[in-house]
Chains A and B, each alone.
Chain A
Amino acid sequence: MDTTVARSPILPTPETSFERPNYLNAEYGWKSWLFTLDHKRIALLYLLSVTVFFGLGGTFAGLIRLELLTPEGDLMGPDTYNRVFTMHGIIMVFFFLIPAIPAVLGNFLVPLMIGAKDLAMPRLNLASWYVYNLGGLFTLWAIVNGGVDTGWTFYTPFSTTYSNTYVVPTALGIFITGFSTIFTALNFIVTIHRMRAPGLNWFRLPLFIWSTYATSLIIMLGTPVIAITILLVGAERLLGLGIFNPKLGGDPVLFEHLFWFYSHPAVYIMILPAMGVISELIGHFARKKVFGYRVVAFASVAIAVLGFLVWGHHLFVAGESIYSATVFSVLSMLVAVPSAVKVFNWTATLYEGSISFQTPMLYALGFIGLFTIGGLTGVMVATLGIDPHVHDTYFIVAHFHYVMVGGTIMAYLGGIHYWWPKMTGRLYPGFLSKLSALLVFVGFNLTFFPQFILGYMGMPRRYWSYPPEFQVLNVLSTAGATVLAVGYTLPLCYFAWSIKYGKRSGDNPWGANSLEWDTPSPPPTENFYTTPVVTHGPYEYTREDVHNRTTQEANFG
């Protein structure tokens, strides 16, 4: 291989590439996995862990939808239902949505995308996976023992004084898991600063790196606040120190401020990496530079910064003064501008592109549609006159699921479909994967769109039983959840199948030109045989480039 040529393409040798030494066949045995320091293997360990938690959280979601099929509470008792929606929220937020894209895709891709051998601190990276699982075990232990019923928001004084469930073990699980995200974020920041390949300046970085960087900043600055808040909840619950309970001299609204000071930025922890994935998918499947690259990159940073200034919009009806509500309302609208700009830029990227409709792109296009609705309804609920009516109703539930599920999970699945050949060297069935994208899109809308109407009708969230006039829309929602469940189960099956039986993908089935595709699939342990030298920005395609890179029928399946 010619080491002087920048970003030398790999010769198309699909039949032999899999047998070459790579990170998967470098070592064998459980020890080689549990003690690995390879970021790619750690990413796969994380993939396994978050998939387990996603399955668990999804099961709880299914139970919620089943219970709500009828107005009467008949499937389970109210205490069980309260535990179920609490565990659904806690698992999905803290153990799936927050770690999913950074810890799986980020871990796998950050070094590959910047031409590095590994993350800056491989041991810290492995430690983060163990810490994540330790926190998860605490929470699982709490579930097995009977769960927790405070809602994922842990509002005081209910959580500190009135709940008779496993609040402290669950909260401790979240506290511990927080450190794993901090480890990962720290690793990313150091790696992106210090280990970029020669020639890879900041404006040649893939947009996924920009958004991962912005996310890492939020994690570093925000997570300590939730950690402290959890300790204060524990201190009040276990030691009776009066912090939040007014009967002990505390202030319950203080908790809401502390909680949302982290948990609103946490929403951006979940959505920013997803936006990064979408920028990659749009750029590469349109084979065109993402429109307004710098604007999109800085929009990520703007969202990260402004995201810290809007927490008060969760408190419009909580007794906050109407004047501070006014300030938080206008700031919340400002943070919507960079998000809107991103959507317009992605759409503009399609103009004069060469768009292929393979599965990852279908997920990306679905993301744009759903995220647009999620974002617009977000601005609606930030509008002061509307929020008092829809606050704590299904309108809010629908809104944040459009952002978290329609946004983050669509992007996560799109990303997994895009980089699966890179991770495993295998292809998955094209038709089935397109079907899954369609089912997820249709099932999602059927599940959550009726909830907008329910919310404006006035159905409060976290209701175990509800007035009968809300039933039709709830039945639609449950029907949609069934379709969604099939849509999510399919990829699980064909990905598992493809590991053994999938067609070999070759090094670069998409003909993509970013650094991670400049090395074999799956990559060798050290990522690159020679240190790549970067001479141009991402998404800059030429015809011969594509011709030289493509290793497999581009429209597989």
Chain B
Amino acid sequence: MKSTFPLFPDSASTLSGHVDALFIVWSLVSLFFTILIAGLIVVLMSRYRRRHPEEVGADERAALWLEVLWSAVPLAIMLAMFAWGTKVFFELYRPPADAVEYTAIGKQWMWKVQHPEGQSEINALHIPVGQPVKIKLASEDVIHSFYIPAFRVKQDAVPGRYTSLWFNPTKPGVYHLFCAEYCGTEHSRMIGSVIVMEPRDYETWMAGGTPGKSMVASGSDLFTSLACATCHRPSPGVTQRGPSLEGVFGSQVKLADGRAVTADDNYVRESILNPLAKVVAGYDPVMPTFQGQVSEEQLTQLIAYVRSLGPTGAAPAGGTGGTPAAGTPAASGVTNPSSAEKDATSPLNTAGQTQGAAQKPPQK
């Protein structure tokens, strides 16, 4: 499939062509100026070469208009390219609403990828062609960087927070997956393949694997086994020690210090690992930390579960998180602009933990 001496990378996503166009135009502009400068130097060199050892150059003929010209022209070109480049960049980093979210966790020295349905793979990512995919990134240890050259996308996986990237593959095939941020001994072997398949082949591949529990189901199990439910599950007549998590995800949460934050991936993550950092208004700072007790993988499962309780309709918008409208804080300290859409399906409304396992994320 691959030629032995290619000079240009595969172009296999909806946006790779946009990046290439920007790159090619910039290269032509650069080529023009390089040839202009080099050509001028060669011409002036031969025209004004010293013909006598004591010859001197002419007096300077200062020309302010020239200085202005060659400041303004590069500036104008750069600002135009800046505008174009920023447009492409925003496209690259703002996933569409229908992107399916996969999770990739970097650790020295491999990528562990999890499908929303629960399948997991090491150093490989199978995806159907034509389906927008959002990859949520986390790291177990040091900074890694998730890089698929054929899609022209790259994003660092930074320990302690979530980042994400997205793409929409257009061409079936096998593409490189690299770790681009130096991460230690086997950095150059932290590589894998992205396998883009026709939807039919993808279905076959999915059916062939051993289906694990879905992210949400695993998260629900953890929610019980880590005893999160003791405080975070409402039961009538008992004063709750922690806020109910129902409908929280994606909404604005009012904090004890008066601030309000959006309950996104990074907020839920922080609340698990460092619970006292942002305490919800109306509750005492009593939650213990789970730092060291849950792995990155378990964290993403827990978050997937918490998300499944919330108004996910607004969910995976942008790298900066959803921005629901602000509302009046409810008694629980939580406003939930769209809870009405979802509450009927929430597992917390029904008794029993097995319900959680039946929950599936919205599938496309």
Contacts and interface: CB of A to CB of B under 8 A. Distances in A.
Contact of B48 (A79, A329, A352): A352
A340 B68 CA distance: 12
B89 interface: yes
Interface centre among A79, A380, A467 (most CB of B within 10 A): A380
Interface string A46-61: 0000000000000000
B172 to A, nearest CB: 19
A316 B189 CA distance: 24
A161 B142 CA distance: 9
A191 interface: no
Contact of B155 (A317, A343, A352, A372): A317
Contacts of B113: none
Interface in B33-90: 33-34, 37-38, 40-41, 44-45, 48-50, 53-62, 66-67, 70-71, 74-75, 78-79, 81-82, 84-90
A385 B78 contact: no
A474 to B, nearest CB: 11
A231 interface: no
B181 interface: yes
B57 A541 contact: yes
A429 interface: no
A241 to B, nearest CB: 16
Interface string B8-23: 1100000000110011
Given A355-B49, A357-B45, A457 B154 contact: no
Interface residues on B, range: 35 or more
Contacts of B92: 385, 388
Contact of A463 (B4, B86, B187): B187
A317 B62 contact: no
B152 interface: yes
Interface in A469-504: 469, 472
Contacts of A352: 48, 57-58, 61
Nearest to B189: A465
Given A350-B48, A355-B44, A355-B48, A456 B23 contact: yes
A384 B88 contact: yes
A264 interface: no
A354 B178 contact: no
A388 B154 contact: yes
B305 interface: no
A318 interface: yes
Interface in B156-179: 156, 158-161, 163, 176, 178-179
Contacts of B161: 246, 319
B205 interface: no
Interface stretch (A287-295, A430-438, A514-522): A287-295
B350 interface: no
A369 B38 CA distance: 6
B90 A322 contact: yes
Interface residues on A, range: 35 or more
A112 interface: no
B9 A550 contact: no
B239 to A, nearest CB: 31
A368 to B, nearest CB: 6
A158 B67 contact: no
B29 to A, nearest CB: 8
B230 interface: no
A351 B44 contact: yes
Contact of B88 (A157, A334, A385): A385
Contacts of A376: 29-30, 33-34
Interface in B177-201: 178-189, 191
Interface stretch (A117-125, A178-186, A214-222, A248-256): A248-256
A422 B246 CA distance: 80
Nearest to A391: B154
A286 B27 CA distance: 31
Interface stretch (B143-151, B256-264, B331-339): B143-151
B183 A347 contact: no
Given A289-B60, A326-B86, A373 B71 contact: no
B291 interface: yes
Interface in A337-355: 337, 340-341, 343-345, 347-348, 350-355
A344 B153 CA distance: 35
A542 B48 contact: no
B141 A458 contact: no
A252 B159 contact: yes
Contact of B26 (A344, A380, A460): A380
B141 A162 contact: yes
B3 interface: yes
Contacts of B154: 317, 388-389, 391-392
B93 interface: yes
Contacts of A389: 19, 23, 149, 152-154
B208 interface: no
A249 B270 CA distance: 11
Contacts of B61: 352
A550 B158 CA distance: 62
B180 A330 contact: no
A116 to B, nearest CB: 27
Contacts of B185: 78-79, 82, 149
A318 B49 contact: no
Interface centre among A161, A383, A457 (most CB of B within 10 A): A383
B146 to A, nearest CB: 9
B143 A252 contact: yes
A321 interface: yes
B87 A251 contact: no
Interface in A349-389: 350-357, 365, 368-369, 372-373, 376-377, 379-380, 383-389
Nearest to B137: A319
Contacts of A553: 53
Given A246-B159, A376-B30, A462-B187, A542 B56 contact: yes
Contact of A355 (B34, B45, B147): B45
Given A354-B57, A389-B149, A462-B187, A155 B49 contact: no
Nearest to B183: A158
A550 B71 contact: no
A458 B147 contact: yes
Nearest to A352: B58
Given A162-B141, A354-B57, A341 B70 contact: yes
Contact of A354 (B48, B90, B152): B48
A288 B320 contact: no
A354 B56 contact: yes
Contact of A457 (B37, B55, B85, B149): B149
A44 interface: no
B352 interface: no
Contacts of B30: 373, 376-377, 380
Given A252-B143, A291-B60, A547-B54, A386 B5 contact: no
A247 interface: yes
Contacts of B44: 347, 350-351, 353, 355
B268 to A, nearest CB: 15
Nearest to A361: B45
A361 B26 CA distance: 30
Interface of B: 2-9, 18-19, 22-23, 26-27, 29-30, 33-34, 37-38, 40-41, 44-45, 48-50, 53-62, 66-67, 70-71, 74-75, 78-79, 81-82, 84-90, 92-94, 108, 141-143, 145, 147, 149-150, 152-156, 158-161, 163, 176, 178-189, 191, 274, 291-292, 319-320
21 contacts: A155-B143, A162-B108, A317-B156, A329-B82, A334-B75, A337-B78, A354-B55, A355-B45, A379-B78, A380-B23, A380-B26, A385-B85, A388-B89, A389-B152, A391-B180, A457-B9, A457-B149, A460-B188, A466-B188, A468-B4, A543-B55
Given A162-B184, A319-B158, A322-B94, 5 more contacts: A352-B48, A357-B49, A369-B38, A458-B176, A472-B4
